[in-house]
Amino acid sequence: MKARFILFFFFYVSLISAQKYATRSGQTSFIGSEETFEQIKAINKVSTAIVDSSNGNIAILLFVSAFKFEIALMEEHFNENYMESSKYPKATFVGNIQDFKYEELTNTENNYDIVGVLAIKGIERSVTINGRMQKTDQGISLKTNFIVLTEDYNIKIPKVVRNKISKTINIKAEYELIEKI
Amino acid sequence: MNKLNYFIVVFFFSPFVFCQNDLLDEISKETSYKNTFEFPAFKAMKIVNNQSTKLAEKKDLYLYVAHRFGSIKGGLKTLFGLDYANTKIEILYGLLNNVQVGFSRESFKQTYNLHVKYGIKKQTENFPISIVGYNSINLDTSLDEVLYPNLDFKERYVYISQLLISRRFSERFSLQIAPSLVKHNFLTTQSKTDYNYILNSGGRIKISKRSSFNIDYSHHLNRLSNSTEKNVLSLGIDMETGGHVFQLLFSNTQASDEAGVLTSAEGDWLKGDIFFGFNILRVF
């Protein structure tokens, strides 16, 4: 009975002390073009991200239709043909920052492996992403660059545009996470 | 002791496993994003021969090239009309949000055209239809001053006003109606009327992600009884490839500007007197 009480105690204490850092205005951008005069790039400035500093768990959520392009027709094709955003409105990442200890964060960037599941177009894949993290005035800064293969997520590129659209999409994310009260 | 082990497993491992998804649930509830992206009802600025509710977005520049060949009735002698092409070249530009301007020159009646097209209301989750206004002015430079020595320059003008109302019923299916007015300043025959009231209708069904079958029909409401003009039925296929849209079509008019389409159609589907043509739309 005593043992059970102690377990309960530790469990709830660990819950209470769980400190979270989050943002609703994270920037996620990508470049998906081959080297041509017409660059295919877009930015999503309303990505949501959250990190639990007690255990390094992380979740990221973004809406596909929030990616903005310079050419409106590209945006239309991105939503309608490639990402089918009416059918699959969200892209998510859920994972854990390996060996993360909040106390060890400094004012200079440190590299971490982030292991988790990236879900795009309803397809879930396990990935390991390199993240650069540092302490900021208001919380934590998280930056990452990684590559996604279109064929992994059933994004079909027709033959006629194969020399314009790259099969490897470069994704860049910058999240300024602020302590959540 | 077994019980204790069970508790250890439940309390120390399950929170760890579920926590990650709990985080996702937490931000899913909090996200304030409202979807503002709405798919357009049509791929191109024209359904087939008539204007659609699609507008050039701000700062987007489009080149619209249209060919209409001669009547396929010409048979092998004219290679089904391919000898007689009517060509239109048009530049479209998104001047402001929801305002598009355009300029074109067409072989048919050697017509210059200037137009403005403006979004009045967009179909959203809260509003069922898109409403777009279209106004244009044609300059008919084919009217010969030898034939019409008293012709005033402004008599070469033709004015077109249309209200385009479309609804995207589903991802694949859209319909449009468009009450239209065409005003001629100069009539070449007694069988024409200066104020022409016309009701357009059109629609599309997507066959695949990047192609659709389109149809439009124009019904003239006050045509004179001695007129030889016909109501216009046009059938087409849209094929979209990246920055291009190709539109292949058959219609009983050879014109490709609104005034020509709506008030100069002479072909007849039942007699096989129809015209093959295509539009190519390119964005820059």
A42 and A30 in contact (C-beta within 8 Å)?
yes
User: B1 — contact with chain A (CB < 8 Å)?
Assistant: no
Are A52 and B23 inside 8 Å of each other by CB? yes
A70 Cβ contact list (under 8 Å, min separation 6): A41
What residues of A are in contact with residue B4 (Cβ under 8 Å)? 3-4
Q: How confident is the model at residue B28 (pLDDT cuts 50, 70, 90)?
A: confident
Q: Does residue A174 lie within any of the structural domains? A: yes
pTM above 0.90, yes or no: no
Structure tokens at B164: 């385009």
What is the least distance, in Å, from the CA of B8 to any CA of chain A? 7
A11 within domain boundaries: no
Which pLDDT band, with edges at 50, 70 and 90, does A36 fall under?
low
In DSSP notation, B238-274 reads: EEEETTEEEEEEEES----SHHHHHH----BTTTTB-
Q: What pLDDT, on a 0 to 100 scale, did the predictor assign at position A42?
A: 94
Domain holding A48, by residue range, is 20-179
Average pLDDT over every residue of B174-197: 92
In chain B, the residue whose alpha carbon lies closest to the alpha carbon of A57 is: B20
CB A59 within 8 A of CB A50: yes
| Mean pLDDT for the stretch of residues B14-37 | 70
Q: Hey, which residues 23-42 in chain A have their CB within 8 Å of chain B? A: 24, 38
Instruction: Quote the pLDDT of residue B209.
Output: 85
- The answer to whether residue A4 neighbours chain B at the CB level (below 8 Å) is yes
Give the number of domains in chain A.
Answer: 1
Does A157 reach chain B within 8 Å, measured CB to CB?
Answer: no
B29 in contact with chain A, both atoms CB, cutoff 8 A:
no
Domains delineated in chain B: 61-283 (2.40.160.40)
Measured in whole angstroms, the distance separating CA A19 from the mean position of its chain's CA atoms is 20
Looking at every residue in chain B, the average pLDDT score rounds to 88
Asked whether the beta carbons of residue A3 and residue B4 sit closer than 8 angstroms, the reply is: yes
Q: Give the Cα-Cα-Cα angle A15, A21, A22 (nearest 5 degrees).
A: 120
- How is residue B136 written in tokens? 């244009």
The whole-number average pLDDT for the span B28-49 is 83
- Distance of alpha carbon A180 from alpha carbon B19, whole angstroms: 16
For A17-26, A141-150, B47-56, B227-236, which range has the lowest pLDDT when averaged over its residues?
A17-26
pLDDT digits (tens, 9 = 90+) for A56-109: 999 999 999 999 998 888 888 899 889 998 889 999 999 999 999 998 899 999
What's the pLDDT tens digit per position in B204-231?
999 988 899 999 999 999 999 888 899 9
Would you state the pLDDT for residue B11? Answer: 53
> Average pLDDT in the B180-188 region?
92
Domain CATH code at residue A42: 2.40.128.110
* Banded model confidence at residue B33, pLDDT cuts 50, 70, 90: confident
A2 in a domain, yes or no? no
Inter-chain CB proximity B7 and A81 less than 8 Å: no
Structural contact between residues B86 and B68, judged by C-beta atoms closer than 8 angstroms: yes
User: What ipTM did this prediction achieve?
Assistant: 0.70
Q: Do B35 and A89 touch (CB under 8 A)?
A: yes
